[in-house]
Amino acid sequence: MRRFERLWREDDGMATTEYALVTVAAAAFAGLLIAIIRSDEVRELLLGVIRSAFG
């Protein structure tokens, strides 16, 4: 049990670091998606898909 406690103390802050890295990666991915969606070609493609779905 003491070995487990020692290993647990060595990883203090690790979960916080992992959450921070995942948050930064998610924000970067969202920025990339926004840049792609704002392009004229992708916008026209998406509008075409929507029009064909409803038309």
> How many C-beta atoms lie closer than 10 Å to residue 42's C-beta?
13
Domain boundaries, the chain: 23-55
According to the model, what pLDDT value does residue 17 have? 79
pLDDT tens digits for 43-54?
Answer: 899 889 999 999
Beta-carbon count within 10 A of 20 CB: 10
Q: Is the pTM of this model over 0.75?
A: no
Could you identify the residue written with the tokens 């990883």? 11
Could you tell me the end-to-end alpha-carbon distance of the chain, in angstroms, rounded to an integer? Answer: 66
Residues 10-42 pLDDT 10s: 555 567 778 889 999 999 999 999 998 888 998
At 21, the amino acid letter reads L
